[in-house]
Amino acid sequence: MDKVAIAFLYVFALLCLAVGANQGILAALSLWGIGVTLYLGLHLQRQYQLLDWLKSPNNKSLPDASGHWAAIFETLKNFVNRYQAQTSELSDSMSRFKNAVSVLPDGVVIFNQHQQVEWCNPSAESQLGLNLWRDQDQKLNAGVHHAEAVRYLEAGHYETPLNIKSKSNPRVDLELHVYTFGTQQKIMICQDVSQTQKLDAMRRDFIANVSHELRTPLTVVGGFLETLHDIPNAVSQQYLHHITLMEQQTQRMRHLVDDLLTLSRIESDANVPENNEISMQGLLERVLSNAQGLSLGRHKITHDIAPNLWIIGAEDEIYSACSNLLNNAIRYTPEHGHIHVIWKGTDMGATYSVIDTGIGIPKEHIARLTERFYRVDKSRSRDTGGTGLGLSIVKHILMRHQAQLKIDSIEHEGSTFSILFPKARVITK
C-alpha cells in the first residue's frame, strides 16, 4: 500500500470517528461501510483491467492507474517484455541450430520423452525413411521406418553403436549412436561410415592376403630345416645350433601368420557363424588339459567349474578365447605360481575367470592390452612364444558373442582376466 492510500485511510477513519462522536455510531458505521465499498470497487476494477490486459499484452495499452496499481502494472509489463525478448531469442537460436544441422551430412533425429520424433534433418529423413511433416510427434514405426533402427532405439542399450544400411541407398553403411539428455529425451546421430569401412576391409584383405602368401614359403622353409635337423650328420655340430634357432623363428612366424589369419577372419565377419549349445564343462576340461601340457607341472592349476551352465555360440571361438586367457596366465606366472579357473553363473549371465599369481600388469597398460601387438614386456612375450595378438583375438571373439573382457591386475601380485557372458547366451541344463 502506498503512503497516500495509508494516509487517506487514517484521515477517513478519523472522519468516521468524528461523525460517530457527533451523529452517533450508526452514522459512523454507515459512512465507514460506504467508504470501504467504494475502496473495494476501485480494486476490483483494477483487477479486471489487469486480467484483461494480461490476455493480450501486445494489443492493449497498459491501463491508467495510480499508486501501487501503477507499480504492479509497470512491473508486470517489464516481465512480459523480458519474457517476449527471451522467447524470440530462443526461437532465433533454435532456427539457427536447425538451419545448421539441416546441412549436415550426418542424420540427426531428436526424440521427446515419449519417444516421439520432435525434429529431424533431411539426411535422417533419407537414411531412416522419415518424413518430418508426416512423422513429427509420432513414434518410429518398424513398418515405415528403418526396422533395425527402431528396434535399437526401443531396446535402450546404446553402449555400442548400431551398424545398418541406409534405407534410401543400401550401398551406404551407417553407424548409429543414441544419446539420452534432459528428461528422457534422446538424440540419434547416423554417420555415413562407408568410406571407413571400405578402407578397413582393404586393410583386412591386405593382411589376410600377405599372411596367406607367407604361409607356403614358411611351411617349405620350416620343413627343410626340420629335415636337416633330423638327418644325422647332415649339418656339422657347429651349425646345428643355428639350425635350431632358425627352426624356432620359423615356428614363431608361422604362429604369427596363423594369428593374423584368425584375426582377419573374425574381424571381417560380424555375425557369429554358428550358434551351438556348448557344454562349458566339457570345453573347459579340454582347455585345462591343454594348459597342463603347457605348464609341464611348473604351476599349481586348480578349478571350480559349474557343471550345468552351457553357452550359446561358436565352439571353436569360445575354446580359443578361454584357452588364450589360461595360456597367458601360465606364460606370465613364474614357476610354482598358482592359477585358478572359475566358471559360474552370475546375475548378469555367467563368468569365466582365470586368476593367477603372476607378474601382474602396471595400471597404465591395462586399457591397451587388447590392441594388436600391444605388449607390456616385448621380450618376455616373445620368449614365451607370444605373437601379441592373443587378447586382440579374444576381444573380437567376445564382441561377436556380446560378451565383455574384464581385466584386474596388480603389478607383481597377479591378474584376473574374466569373460562376462550376457544372460541371453547362457543356458542352465
Chain residues in the site for ligand ADP (CB under 6 A): 328-329, 332, 356, 358-359, 361, 369, 374-377, 381, 386-392, 415
Tell me the CB-side half-sphere exposure of residue 392, using CA atoms within 13 A.
Answer: 20
Comparison of 107 and 414: residue with beta carbon closer to ligand ADP: 414
The grid coordinates of residue 173 equal 553403411
Specify the 3-state DSSP secondary structure of 265.
helix
Least spacing, CB of residue 266 vs ligand ADP, in Å:
14
Contact 295, 371 (CB under 8 A): no
Comparison of 282 and 362: residue with beta carbon closer to ligand ADP: 362
CA distance 358 to 360: 6
Comparison of 260 and 369: residue with beta carbon closer to ligand ADP: 369
Q: Which of 107, 106, 166 is nearest to 132 (CA)?
A: 107
Comparison of 349 and 386: residue with beta carbon closer to ligand ADP: 386
CA distance 272 to 397: 9
Q: For residues 342-381, b (16+ Cβ closer than 10 Å) or e, as one string?
A: bbeeeeebbbbbbbbbbbbbeeeeeeebbeeebbbeeeeb
Q: Is 50 left (phi over 0), alpha (psi -120 to 50) or beta?
A: alpha
Least spacing, CB of residue 261 vs ligand ADP, in Å:
16
Least spacing, CB of residue 363 vs ligand ADP, in Å:
12
Comparison of 121 and 328: residue with beta carbon closer to ligand ADP: 328
Least spacing, CB of residue 200 vs ligand ADP, in Å:
20
Contact 354, 326 (CB under 8 A): yes
Least spacing, CB of residue 153 vs ligand ADP, in Å:
36
Least spacing, CB of residue 267 vs ligand ADP, in Å:
15
Comparison of 135 and 317: residue with beta carbon closer to ligand ADP: 317
